[in-house]
Structure 1
Amino acid sequence: MANKTYNDAINALNSLQSNYANIMAVRESGVRKNEMAILEMVEWTRRIGYTTADFNKLNIVHITGTKGKGSTAAFTNSILDQYKDKLHNIGLYTSPHLRSVRERIRINGQPLSEEKFTKYFYDIWNKLDNTTSPVEKFPHMTPGAKPGYFKFLTLLSFHTFLQEGCRSCVYEVGIGGEYDSTNIIEKPVACGVALLGIDHTFMLGETIDEIAWNKGGIFKPHSPAYTIEDQPVQGMKVLEERASERDTTVAKVPTFNQLNNVKLGIAGDFQKTNASLAVALASEALFSMGLIQSRVNLDADAQLPTTFIEGLERTNWEGRCQTIKRGNNFWYLDGAHTKDSIEAASGWFSDVVEDSPRKKVLLFNQQSRDAKALIHYAVNKISPKVKFDHVIFTTNVTWGSGSYSADLISMNTCKEDVEALKVQKDLAEEWKNIDPKSEISITPSIESANELIEGLQDGPLDIYVCGSLHLVGGLLVVFDGK
């Protein structure tokens, strides 16, 4: 262990990613996750020296949804952080990351240090090397075998938060809920469901009913659940059925009117809904731990505690409706990559820059989803208020040399398509039909896209960056120059 470095840990972690061919084979097979995924997580937990009951002491808030679950988790964490003097350490587990994988595991809002990440990583890695599973029950979990990338990080998060003495933790579901690796949590203090929509259909189902069923899978007996008021009707019906099955309740949270006069730490009017859900979740968590005397009243006109408002104002969540000024240029970043999220982000962008005299640039990347559809969702929300003078389609490769930042290596995209710029060329042809007056460029890397934009002689620019968290994260790394 003494000789192991952070880079060693990242290289080992990256080896656990599923490659593109395997992912496509699973999709084409039509096989979706099943309860075996949870049984395996319970077994991996045993092999690293814990039982799932050990995690109950973390007083976990468990959050799922299609759009807004990450922002809701960030808001909830920030509210809890206002009670840090009593909670000591507060854990936050989210995904994906932007710059560094350490962002997924945070203590008191800060990514785990490289030293602690490396230490705790090899605690888990070595325990898995030195333990075995019953062959008749888990034939593929042989000595030395490891769980996949996300499962390993989930195990690492539990280990880290217990070792760091966290008294409360916020967990964002990876995908879905019922069979997600975070769903070994037995007794969350509260569960939350952000806006439901259609996404990850190959794993969760094609309809809102199926997706809501999966998301409602995080509900646990006697653990209060909360969701937003404006869920799709059928989705809400399924959530209520799931709550009844699990011997709990799911309450609708209004968008609190008081937030109309609050500058939230994450921009965008739609964030008021996520912030309201976070208020209910944090309130339930703090009440369950005896740190507040009563829960916040779920009435739109309720007066929220000052500490809650401060938490919402102090929330910092990069890559979500984020504005960065560099020189004379204004960059508007959002990793939106679903229909609902890209419409929301595009609405935010068009509202902010509608009266700006600066020329407009779109920087877009999406390698694995329906990129053409996402482009149309964005344009339909932005046009006719805003027109782009220059449109750039790039890959998710970080550097002009063709290399990725180590923390941003992704094996779940088609390497050949990336190298051939296939998606980018298709998008360029599509854009000619959308707005033939725009100047269109294609770049092989995020660094080269940034250099192109910085070299434009059009005066000050408003640059909208969207379509992928990989793009936004890679751009931030390029900005950092690391």
Structure 2
Amino acid sequence: MVLIGSLHFRRFSTKSRSYGDAINALNSLQTNFATLEAIRKSERKANVRAIPEMIEWTRRVGYKPSDLDGLNIVHVTGTKGKGSTCAFTYSILSRYQPMLSKIGVYTSPHLKSVRERISINGKPISEDKFTRYFFEVWDRLSETVSDESIFPNMGHGVKPVYFRFLTLLSFHVFMSEKVDTAIYEVGIGGEYDSTNIVRRPTAVGISSIGIDHTRVLGTTLQEIAWNKGGIMKTGTKAFSVGQKIEAWEALQARAVEKNVKLIKVPVHPVVAKTRLGIDADFQHINASLAVSLAREHLRVLGYYPQDYSNEDELPPEFISGLENASWPGRCQTIKIGNVEWLLDGAHTDESITVATQWFATKAHKTAKKILIFNQQTRDANSLVSRLHSILGVDVHFDEVIFCTNLTWSVGGYQSAELTAMNHSKQAINDMVVQKALAEEWEKLDPESKRNVLPTIEDAVKYVHELKDNDIQVLVTGSLHLVGGLLVVLDK
């Protein structure tokens, strides 16, 4: 047995390693619920060690931060919209292939498969490549050591936690596959995020900043914006959407501190008239940020068309990229028979607001409307209350379903790649959150029929057994919920 943090994990023989083994090993790096609760109180104090430790982990895998310069990284942070911004940026840049021969994208979280987090040219890496590269990183970390007088938390047999390991894996995959453009979405924050060992990004993007991850980033917009602004690098232009005044002032201060040119991005006039592939009004600002990032990236690499000096114009490649962008689980519509599924993994106050507004624009007057909702870690009652208040009297849910994020009804189990160990299993089994949500919704709208169901499969089955001719279902509150629902619909 090998000690991994506070967990034990069996050694794999080189002959028996499979994709399933890789997923099991990766899941062992998740922080379990009890441990997470214990360390959360000191998490912000531990932040100062994050970047030195990440550089050391990278060294043990065989790289230096300077090695990553050749990936030509576009680095994106924010609270809401950073994933969509990455998707738009990729879609635009993909129109410049083969000049950009291999474009890698590193994002989180995943919906159905962890391989979604590490994609090349629009496709998640294969199971075979994931397995091979995973165990190459695993073995290098097992076979190397750190100076424990400098890195006391990185002793023999210890592995980095889940997200850090995946970040290391993405570096190794992109370097091994000779990626020449990479788009990196920050995990949490920026200053201390594991992606922030990048030294020379081609462009830095900051999407809308709001209150989230307060135990790690701070409790005010100024503190959170300071943290997000940590990905700015001297010599690289930074682009930000319009922010609330406290956040903007904090970003400006960081730009001065780092001697960075910070540019505020409005909605681009061409973008405002373009039918976006990720079809929602609020996506126009994320698409505009992506336009600035893609244009700057191409300029740095010497590929931006010289005849497009007018900032109010866009090359046809940009427009095509915007029209064909895709980001599953975000403003996604799936029609199956008489049921229209409207999916958005919104899980913060700001994202719930815009996702609910998006649903309101799609709602049919004559359709039966159903809400499927879950949020296991944040203030779920507050989120569902916000959702209800935004819809007001204009859109009414005939039924609401509160279910857990467990995928399948037989045995109430989770798909291996959707396993989340940082929740209380007892609370999930007892459906504590779901019952509380049902009680909250009764106060908000006693006319809606309320259902509490143990799994996502149960919720999907319930909807499909309804006899109504026209049904619209909003699925929101959690990307884990949306991901699990996509898995069930695939079945």
What is the TM-score when the length of structure 1 is the normalising length?
A: 0.97
| Paired residue secondary structure (1:376) | helix
Looking at structure 1, the residues matched to 385 and 306 of structure 2 have their Cα atoms a distance apart, in angstroms, of 46
User: In the alignment, what sits opposite 1:374?
Assistant: 383
Instruction: Summarize deviations over 1:279-336 as a string: whole Å, max 9, x none.
Output: 000111111011114597695xx01111011111111110001000011110100000
Contact in 2 for aligned 1:254/1:298 (Cα 8 Å): no
Looking at structure 1, the residues matched to 286 and 386 of structure 2 have their Cα atoms a distance apart, in angstroms, of 21
User: In the alignment, what sits opposite 1:268?
Assistant: 280
Instruction: Summarize deviations over 1:334-365 as a string: whole Å, max 9, x none.
Output: 00000010100000001111x43111000001
Instruction: Summarize deviations over 1:184-237 as a string: whole Å, max 9, x none.
Output: 001111100000100000100110000000000001111110001x21111111
Matched, 1:251 2:260: no
Match 1:326 to one of 336, 341, 348:
336
| Paired residue secondary structure (2:285) | helix
Q: How far has the Cα of 1:91 moved from its partner?
A: 0.3
Match 1:177 to one of 187, 190, 197:
190
Looking at structure 2, the residues matched to 152 and 288 of structure 1 have their Cα atoms a distance apart, in angstroms, of 30
Q: How has the CA–CA distance of structure 1 residues 381 and 227 changed in structure 2, closer, same or farther, with 3 Å as cutoff?
A: same
Instruction: Summarize deviations over 1:73-115 as a string: whole Å, max 9, x none.
Output: 1111111111121111000000000000000000011111101
Looking at structure 2, the residues matched to 40 and 295 of structure 1 have their Cα atoms a distance apart, in angstroms, of 45
User: In the alignment, what sits opposite 2:152?
Assistant: 139
- The amino acid across from 1:259 in the alignment is V
Contact in 1 for aligned 2:44/2:217 (Cα 8 Å): no
- The amino acid across from 1:315 in the alignment is A
Match 1:232 to one of 241, 244, 252:
244
Structure 1 range deviating more: 356-365 or 1-10 = 1-10
Match 2:294 to one of 276, 282, 286:
282
- The amino acid across from 1:291 in the alignment is Y
- The amino acid across from 2:304 in the alignment is I
Q: How has the CA–CA distance of structure 1 residues 470 and 32 changed in structure 2, closer, same or farther, with 3 Å as cutoff?
A: farther
Looking at structure 1, the residues matched to 310 and 72 of structure 2 have their Cα atoms a distance apart, in angstroms, of 22
- The amino acid across from 2:154 in the alignment is M
Looking at structure 1, the residues matched to 369 and 171 of structure 2 have their Cα atoms a distance apart, in angstroms, of 44
Looking at structure 2, the residues matched to 39 and 209 of structure 1 have their Cα atoms a distance apart, in angstroms, of 25
User: In the alignment, what sits opposite 2:142?
Assistant: 129
Looking at structure 2, the residues matched to 261 and 104 of structure 1 have their Cα atoms a distance apart, in angstroms, of 31
- The amino acid across from 2:406 in the alignment is V
User: In the alignment, what sits opposite 2:23?
Assistant: 10
| Paired residue secondary structure (1:82) | helix
Q: How far has the Cα of 1:144 moved from its partner?
A: 2.2
**Runs of 5+ unmatched residues, structure 2:** 1-13
User: In the alignment, what sits opposite 2:372?
Assistant: 363
Contact in 2 for aligned 1:280/1:298 (Cα 8 Å): no
Looking at structure 2, the residues matched to 295 and 86 of structure 1 have their Cα atoms a distance apart, in angstroms, of 18
Match 2:178 to one of 165, 181, 184:
165
Looking at structure 2, the residues matched to 282 and 33 of structure 1 have their Cα atoms a distance apart, in angstroms, of 34
Match 1:55 to one of 59, 62, 68:
68
Looking at structure 2, the residues matched to 373 and 430 of structure 1 have their Cα atoms a distance apart, in angstroms, of 9
User: In the alignment, what sits opposite 1:405?
Assistant: 415
Match 1:395 to one of 400, 404, 414:
404
Contact in 2 for aligned 1:361/1:461 (Cα 8 Å): yes
Structure 1 range deviating more: 320-329 or 140-149 = 140-149
Structure 1 range deviating more: 33-42 or 418-427 = 33-42
- The amino acid across from 2:41 in the alignment is E
User: In the alignment, what sits opposite 1:221?
Assistant: 234
User: In the alignment, what sits opposite 1:384?
Assistant: 393
User: In the alignment, what sits opposite 2:87?
Assistant: 74
Q: How far has the Cα of 1:139 moved from its partner?
A: 1.9
Q: How has the CA–CA distance of structure 1 residues 439 and 32 changed in structure 2, closer, same or farther, with 3 Å as cutoff?
A: farther
- The amino acid across from 1:472 in the alignment is V
Contact in 2 for aligned 1:266/1:320 (Cα 8 Å): yes
- The amino acid across from 2:463 in the alignment is I
Once the two structures are superposed, the pairs formed by residues 408-423 of structure 1 within 5 Å of their partners are 408-423=418-433
Q: How far has the Cα of 1:30 moved from its partner?
A: 6.5
**Runs of 5+ unmatched residues, structure 1:** none
Q: How far has the Cα of 1:456 moved from its partner?
A: 1.7
Matched, 1:91 2:101: no
Q: How has the CA–CA distance of structure 1 residues 297 and 361 changed in structure 2, closer, same or farther, with 3 Å as cutoff?
A: farther
Matched, 1:106 2:116: no
Q: How far has the Cα of 1:35 moved from its partner?
A: 2.2
Q: How has the CA–CA distance of structure 1 residues 189 and 30 changed in structure 2, closer, same or farther, with 3 Å as cutoff?
A: closer
What is the TM-score when the length of structure 2 is the normalising length?
A: 0.95
4+ residue segments displaced more than 4 Å: 293-299
Structure 1 range deviating more: 378-387 or 184-193 = 378-387
Match 1:434 to one of 406, 427, 444:
444
Looking at structure 1, the residues matched to 328 and 68 of structure 2 have their Cα atoms a distance apart, in angstroms, of 28
Q: How far has the Cα of 1:458 moved from its partner?
A: 3.0
User: In the alignment, what sits opposite 1:460?
Assistant: 470
Once the two structures are superposed, the pairs formed by residues 318-357 of structure 1 within 5 Å of their partners are 318-353=328-363, 355-357=364-366
Q: How has the CA–CA distance of structure 1 residues 285 and 398 changed in structure 2, closer, same or farther, with 3 Å as cutoff?
A: same
Once the two structures are aligned, what percentage of the paired residues are identical? 52
- The amino acid across from 1:369 in the alignment is R
Looking at structure 2, the residues matched to 408 and 73 of structure 1 have their Cα atoms a distance apart, in angstroms, of 22
Looking at structure 1, the residues matched to 424 and 467 of structure 2 have their Cα atoms a distance apart, in angstroms, of 34
Q: How far has the Cα of 1:261 moved from its partner?
A: 2.3
| Paired residue secondary structure (1:429) | helix
- The amino acid across from 1:290 in the alignment is G
Matched, 1:190 2:203: yes
Q: How far has the Cα of 1:439 moved from its partner?
A: 0.5
| Paired residue secondary structure (1:462) | strand
Q: How has the CA–CA distance of structure 1 residues 462 and 254 changed in structure 2, closer, same or farther, with 3 Å as cutoff?
A: same
Looking at structure 1, the residues matched to 466 and 191 of structure 2 have their Cα atoms a distance apart, in angstroms, of 48
Looking at structure 1, the residues matched to 302 and 382 of structure 2 have their Cα atoms a distance apart, in angstroms, of 48
| Paired residue secondary structure (1:3) | coil
Q: How far has the Cα of 1:28 moved from its partner?
A: 3.5
| Paired residue secondary structure (1:144) | coil
User: In the alignment, what sits opposite 2:7?
Assistant: none
| Paired residue secondary structure (1:191) | strand
Q: How has the CA–CA distance of structure 1 residues 407 and 378 changed in structure 2, closer, same or farther, with 3 Å as cutoff?
A: same
Contact in 2 for aligned 1:128/1:143 (Cα 8 Å): no
Count of aligned positions: 477
Contact in 2 for aligned 1:283/1:295 (Cα 8 Å): no
Contact in 2 for aligned 1:240/1:249 (Cα 8 Å): no
